[in-house]
Structures are given as C-alpha cells and as structure tokens.
Amino acid sequence: MRSVVGWSNQVRYDSVIVRFGGEMGIKGEWTRRAYEKLLLKNIKKALKHHGIPYEKFIHKRGRIYIKTKNAQEIASKLTRVFGVSSASPAIETTSDMNEIVQRAIELADTILKDGSSFAIRCHRVGKHQYSSMDVCKEVGKQILEQLKNRNLQVHLKNPQFTVNVEVRDKYAYIFAETLHGVDGFPLGSQPKVICLLSGGIDSAVACWLAMKRGCPIIPMYFDIAPFTDESATAKALDVARKLFEWSIGFSRKVYIVPHCRNLETFVTESPRKLTCILCKRMMYRVAERIAETERAEGIITGEAIGEQASQTLHNLRVLNEIATKYPVHRPLLGFNKLETEELAKKISTFKISTRKTEGCSAAPIKPATKARLEIVKRAEQQLDIEEMVEESVREAKTVTI
C-alpha cells in the first residue's frame, strides 16, 4: 500500500449520495417508483435553477448518485428539496477492496487531525467477496498504519470523525459528512392547495408543512388596509417569496383579495363581538371559489386550538360549517406557539413574519369565544353575503413573485 499522507489539503469529492425520505421506502412498489421519479425531476429543477452543473445521475432503489465536481454545493442545496432525507458529498471508486482502502485513506488524510478518534462504517448492497465488517476492519487497519504519526485512536461508540463506505454493486462511495434534509414527500406528489397566508408566523409554517407532504401551494392574502398598515401586504409577499424558495419549478402565484369593504361591513352592520368569526367565514367562502378556479383539493390555514379567540374548538366548528365544497386542513392544530416559532426559524420565515406592522384595528375588544351558529347565520342573513363574495373574487388580483 503506497503512502498517501499529504495527498491534498482539500477533499476532492466527485459525487453526491442523495437518500430518499423514509416514508417513500415503505410505499407500494408502483407508488414508490412514481415518487422517486418525481423527486429526481424536482432535483434536476433545483440544480438548473441554481445553475450548478453535473455530469450524470445514477438512480438506484432508495438512492440517487450524482456525478459532479460541485458535490458540496449540490449536497447543501438538495437538503431543501422535499423528499430528500439526507445528502453526502462523496468520492466514487470501484468496489475493489484495494481501491476502497486507498480512497478511504485519502479522505482520512484530509479530515483526521493529530490525536483524533475515528470509526469506519460500511453499508453494502450487492454480492461481494467480502463483508461489511471486512471493509471496516481493513480500512481502519490501513488508516492507522498509513497515518501512524498522528496518534489516531479508534472509537466505535463516539468517534470525533467517521469515514463512511457505501458499496453498491460495482461501485463504492467514500464520505465523511451527511447533511440532513427535510424529508417528506416530493412536491407535486399530492394535489395543490389554497393557503390562507396572513404574513404572520402560523400561516407560513402551515403552508410549509403542507408542502412537506407533497402539496404545491397557492397562497391567498386578504388585504384589510386601512385596518392595518400598507406594509402588511409587503410582508405577506415576502413570506410567500421565502416559501417559494422551497418549491423551485412550481407556481409562484399569489392571490391578493381586497377585504377592507367586507370587514368594514361586519364592523358597522353586525354584532361587534362576531367580527372575527364573520371575517374568517368570508375568507373561507372566497377561498372555496378560488380553489374551484384553480382546481385545488383543499384549503390550508394556520389555525391552532386556542391560539386566538376565533380558534377555540367551538368557533372552529362554526367556521367549518361554511366550507361545504372543500375541506379545511389545519396542520398546526395541536402545535403550541413555541413549537411553531421553532419551525418558522428553521424554514427562514420567522424574521419576516415578526417584522412590525400594525395589528388589525377591526378586532373587537371582547370577541366571541363561543359563538352560536344560529346567531352568526342570523347576522349574515342581514347582509348581502353573496354579492360580497362575488365582489371579492371579481376584484382579486394575482401576482407572480
């Protein structure tokens, strides 16, 4: 075995190992293949969008191997593609034991420092003249021999560094780093949904969670100015823009619905304590109309039990009553505020959502927390609800961002 000490100051990665989300692997054969094919398509869209070149894709069960000189950059970008469980920049070689050992030593030479502890892990698929344990023993032995002047130690339970070997039929991949992805299902594996996006923390996270389950989103923002300031619309669009970073290759359309007249009508002509309930029921009505136009399959909201006065379980039932054509999905139903905020930080919407804007000045001082459906309906009967819906839909505009 020739010495490779001092081989390079940087690792010369030439491949990326892309691992699929765990749930994809337990699907039926036809569904799994369809999901993997869609994920491959979404990955190619992401790489094209970011302008990162690659040489070829090798698609195997549960894996995609990407041949590229930009392995670290690609691995980082793909952690934001739904359906990717993890990605590792790697060195490709053959499944010959001597080649595996040689390349593993080269990698170890670049990452192991004096006095480091390390371990070898091997995952193997296919028939070979050696076992995974054989690989671990031989690679570890040769690293200790070749780098004996560094006082290295083998620590199987809690090593400072791990040299990983993945053997797949005639090829092997050597890597030391695994970047965790967001998992979930490939975007587009489920139908699109209408998302009520306020620009706040909750609705943004709800949108993202729907996307993680494979649903492309069409955000809908209800503009209530002057009941809030003009910056609220800009904030909502900035949140949508950040969410669309997770859906490269899909629609970037946002509906902006003028809602001021509706809200003004509720404030002046209906019981004051019902303003929030009447406002949200109107949003549901308009969302159903847009869902029908867009051929969506549901409506997503950021409502959580008890988060606001209109979100008590009783009031949620009153809200649900008006949605007769499309289901209303609430991904955050059982989340508390801290859990939602942590996820908002993870997906990079938190800073935008917490930008200061004026709160809704139409909100009553004492909103109904247990609104009676018959009273709500009676209040709506005093208004020309159908015309209000028609006007909202007619004046809604779309922007692509």
Query: For residue 103, what are the domain limits?
Result: 15-180
pTM for this prediction:
0.92
Encoded tokens for 162: 């791990």
> Is the same domain home to 165 and 201?
no
The full DSSP string for 129-159 is SS-HHHHHHHHHHHHHHHTGGG--EE-SSS-
pLDDT in tens, the chain (401 residues): 444 444 445 678 999 999 998 899 889 999 999 999 999 999 999 999 999 999 999 999 889 999 999 999 999 999 999 999 999 999 999 999 999 999 999 999 999 999 999 999 999 999 999 999 999 999 999 999 999 999 999 999 999 999 999 999 999 999 999 999 999 999 999 999 999 999 999 999 999 999 999 999 999 999 999 999 989 999 999 999 999 999 999 999 999 999 999 999 999 999 999 999 999 999 999 999 999 999 999 999 999 998 888 899 999 999 999 999 999 999 999 999 999 999 999 999 999 999 999 989 999 999 999 999 999 999 999 999 999 999 999 999 999 99
Q: Using the 3D structure, point to which of 157, 180, 203 is the last residue of a domain.
A: 180
> Is the same domain home to 290 and 381?
yes
Residue 376 CB-half CA count within 13 A: 27
> Is the same domain home to 290 and 145?
no
Q: What is the CATH number of the domain that holds 340?
A: 3.40.50.620
b/e map of 159-195 (b: 16 or more CB within 10 Å)?
bebbbbbbbbeebbbbbbbbbebbbbbbbbbbebbbb
Q: Using the 3D structure, point to which of 180, 210, 237 is the last residue of a domain.
A: 180
Residue 4 lies in a domain: no
At residue 353, φ and ψ (nearest 5 deg) are -65, -25
> Is the same domain home to 237 and 385?
yes
> Is the same domain home to 234 and 303?
yes
CA–CA gap between residue 395 and residue 401 (Å, rounded)? 19
Residue 346 lies in a domain: yes
> Is the same domain home to 161 and 264?
no
> Is the same domain home to 267 and 331?
yes
Residue in 224, 219, 213, 384 with CA at minimum distance from that of residue 290: 219
> Is the same domain home to 200 and 348?
yes
CA–CA gap between residue 294 and residue 396 (Å, rounded)? 13
CA–CA gap between residue 159 and residue 119 (Å, rounded)? 6
Q: Any idea which residue has 């979404």 for tokens?
A: 42
CA–CA gap between residue 191 and residue 187 (Å, rounded)? 9
Number of domains in the chain: 2
Sign of the CA dihedral running 194, 199, 201, 202: negative
Residue 186 lies in a domain: no
Q: Using the 3D structure, point to which of 180, 215, 238 is the last residue of a domain.
A: 180
Residue 358 lies in a domain: yes
> Is the same domain home to 212 and 306?
yes
> Is the same domain home to 205 and 131?
no
Which residues, including other chains, have CB under 8 Å from residue 273's CB and lie 6 or more apart? Answer: 364, 366, 367, 368, 371
Q: What is the CATH number of the domain that holds 81?
A: 3.30.2130.30
